[in-house]
Amino acid sequence: MLDIQNLSKSFGALTATDNVSLTVKKGTIHALIGPNGAGKTTLISQISGYLTPDSGSITFDGQDLLALPAHKRPHAGLVRSFQITSVIPEFTVRDNVALVLQSLNNQVFRIFAKASADREERAKAEAILERTGLSDEADTRAQNLAHGQKRQLEIAMALAADPKLLLLDEPMAGMGVDESRSLTDLLNSLRDTTTMLLVEHDMDVVFSLADEISVLVYGKIIATDTPEAIRTNRDVQEAYLGTHELHNEEPA
């Protein structure tokens, strides 16, 4: 589904992505973990087109992704969510989702179609809000949502684009325990239809969802393996997991 080869990106003297190769197989949830500043978001941004890599290649669904402008990638089925919540603040929750549907239906330039009159779009948006647990907030302005709900909206917007591959940049960041659990369930229910690349700090979530895990440290992938193998990997423990209490936890 997604094949990254020898990808590099530097900001001056800092090499944020250092010769990274990574393959996300279709139908899997692939987690990307690593300490703060390892370059996870930088990698996500290159896949989604917000940053241009210095060298290397990315193939998505058989096509050369780097030749595809960033705004066309969601139309090809590649959708990202943001670590720092980024919604349309003055829009209602429903309109945030409806905007995504409008874009994916290629209706951006409809000058005469009244936005509030599209019942089909409205129904679709509400179905997505139902799935993401935001139905009660459909008419709330996004800026008035609680933090956890904003995170849910972020996911709802990503799902509205009906992605083949979902790039999730710390979806649980700042969520409460219950919200985090229900989002984990939601992502789990999507695994049959959607391939995911998941960046996440919450190791419970990572180990309960991931089919494969890659570990990024200082811009380099130091290991890619099954969750069980990652848990016992010496390099990983030294570089990263040593600071966590993972070895005490049971895999899901």
Closer Cβ to other proteins, 113 or 127, answer by number? 113
Closer Cβ to other proteins, 78 or 239, answer by number? 78
Half-sphere exposure of 248 (CA within 13 A, CB side): 4
Closer Cβ to other proteins, 55 or 86, answer by number? 86
For residue 220, the minimal CB distance to other proteins (Å) is 26
Residue found by looking up tokens 């703060």 in the block: 36
For the record, the structure tokens of 128 come out as 């997505």
Closer Cβ to other proteins, 159 or 175, answer by number? 159
For residue 180, the minimal CB distance to other proteins (Å) is 23
Binding site for other proteins (CB under 8 A): 48-50, 69-75, 79-80, 82, 86-91, 95, 98-100, 102-104, 107-116, 118, 141, 157, 161
For residue 139, the minimal CB distance to other proteins (Å) is 10
For residue 48, the minimal CB distance to other proteins (Å) is 6
CA atoms of 156 and 92, how far apart (whole Å): 13
Q: Are the C-beta atoms of 214 and 43 separated by less than 8 Å?
A: no
Residues in the chain: 252
For residue 235, the minimal CB distance to other proteins (Å) is 33
Phi/psi of residue 31, each to 5°? -95, 145
Select from 206, 197, 196, 199 the least CA-distant residue to 246: 206
Closer Cβ to other proteins, 67 or 111, answer by number? 111
Tell me the β-bridge partners of 9. 17
Report CA 185 to chain centroid distance, whole Å.
15
Closer Cβ to other proteins, 48 or 233, answer by number? 48
Closer Cβ to other proteins, 26 or 72, answer by number? 72
Tell me the β-bridge partners of 4. 22, 58
3-state secondary structure of 25: coil
For residue 50, the minimal CB distance to other proteins (Å) is 7
Pairing of strands 29-33, 212-217: parallel
For residue 80, the minimal CB distance to other proteins (Å) is 5
Q: Are the C-beta atoms of 59 and 26 separated by less than 8 Å?
A: no
CA atoms of 42 and 39, how far apart (whole Å): 5
